[in-house]
Amino acid sequence: MSPGTWSEPVERGWDEPWYRVRMEDFEASFLPSDGEDLDEVCNVDVFVTLKDGSRWTATVFTVAEVERLMKLWAGTDEALGGRYFWVSDGLIVRDPGIDNMTDVIAGLIENGEFPDIFQQVINS
């Protein structure tokens, strides 16, 4: 399957405060800011539930958002004045939007890289 040709969502919509996208192989629950345009989301927490019931999490950023944050931190004590960016469960994507992020998640599951990038949620 080539990039951008993943199957269409089975179901998607709001389940406040979450925006959920259910695909054939997973469900992604995004937590966008209140009133944020879903096509412009550039920094968002997401929980993914796979078909086997396992739950995973990551924070997804766009390249532009990382650059914006680093510039914002310049001249502060944050991240050595914005000289680096690091997030333990971070995923950086090129383009904004929930649809794009869902396509990336589908691609990561398809190519086997998903468990290397997302953090599994272990319930104690």
Strands 90-93, 55-62: pairing kind: parallel
Mean pLDDT of 31-45: 96
Confidence band (pLDDT; 50, 70, 90) for 6?
Answer: low
Domain ranges of the chain: 11-121
pLDDT at 82 over 80: yes
Mean pLDDT of 34-53: 97
pTM of the model: 0.89
Report d(CA 73, CA 97) in Å as an integer: 24
pLDDT at 4 over 60: no
